Structure 1
Amino acid sequence: MEAYLPSHWKAGPRTGPLTSALVLCAYEQNTSEVVDNCQYVGGVSVMLTKSRTTYLLYEAKTSKLVTRFTVEGDSGCPSEIRHYEGEKPPITIAQDIDHGKVIAKLRPHVEGPAV
């Protein structure tokens, strides 16, 4: 998740010990609900399943829950799937989460309300 957050949201300062005012926990929940059947080269067929991730944002200093929200997966079949040579490809894969939606939910708590 960190790779998808804006760089100026990372813990700082840039030198010395890292400090953080907020802590984000993510809990992925993949379901068995099939939303698509993805077809790949070589006759590989993989089921795409519905996913959702619940996020809990805490104040680091007090452990107080700041907000809780859930983002549903909304992606289609990926253009490719990866697996190790000699291993069978996965039977199912979960939808990806739109990280832009996560950032939009976090922004008011990290940067303050829009002016």
Structure 2
Amino acid sequence: MAEPRIVDLTAIEPVACPCGLARRAFGDFPEFPGTVHLTEIESTARAHSHSDHTEIYVILACGPDAAIELDGVRTPVTPMTAIAIPPGVVHRAIGKMQTLIICHPEFDPRDERLVDC
């Protein structure tokens, strides 16, 4: 039987991503078929999509003009907004924000497709 695991997301070394900096957890936890990312989104976030991944964005903190863009449609967001993004949807966060992203299946950078706006 698997043991529970506790992770301090802030202790994970961040990696660059199209959104900013991501701290990814549970990629090595076979009992969970995905990953959890604490992501600091920068104002330079790039539009992208995924062929296989579904992502759930939970906005933890953001500025008053923050938004999410999904297939070209911009929607304002506030802290504690959750967004489900299925595969194939071109998306990007607009404005600086901190998000918790749940990715299913486990994140694979080869599944990320940058899109020119």
TM-score computed with the length of structure 2 as normaliser: 0.24
More helix by share: 1
Q: Relative contact order (alpha carbons < 8 A, sep ≥ 6): 1 or 2 greater?
A: 2
